Amino acid sequence: MNPRKKVDLKLIIIGALGVGKTSLLHQYVHKTFSEDYQTTLGASILSKIIIMEGTTLKLQIWDTGGQERFRSMVSTFYKGSDGCILAFDVTDLESFEALEMWRGDVLAKTIPMEQSYPIVVLGNKVDLADRQVPHEVAQSWCKEKNIPYFEVSAKSNFNVVQAFEMLASRALSRYRSILDNYLTDSIKLSPEHQSQRQCC
Please tell me the predicted confidence (pLDDT) of residue 180: 80
Please determine, for residue 192, whether its predicted confidence score (pLDDT) is greater than 70: no
Q: Does residue 3 contact residue 179 with C-beta atoms inside 8 Å?
A: yes
> Which alpha helices (H) appear in 99-159, and where do they start and end?
99-109, 135-144
Phi and psi (nearest 5°) for 12?
Answer: -125, 150
Q: Considering the entire predicted model, what is its pTM?
A: 0.83
Q: Which residue, 154, 109, 165, is CA-closest to 18?
A: 154
Q: Which residue, 146, 176, 10, 168, is CA-closest to 78?
A: 10
Please tell me the predicted confidence (pLDDT) of residue 116: 83
CATH of 6-199, one of 3.10.129.10, 3.30.1050.10, 3.40.50.2020, 3.40.50.300: 3.40.50.300
Domain boundaries, the chain: 6-199
Please tell me the predicted confidence (pLDDT) of residue 75: 66
pLDDT band at 32 (very low <50, low <70, confident <90, very high): very high
Please state, as a whole number, how many other Cβ atoms lie within 10 Å of the Cβ of residue 143: 11
Please tell me the predicted confidence (pLDDT) of residue 151: 98
Please tell me the predicted confidence (pLDDT) of residue 64: 79
For 83-120, b/e burial (b = at least 16 CB within 10 A) is bbbbbbbbbbeebbebbeebbebbbeebeeeeeebbbb
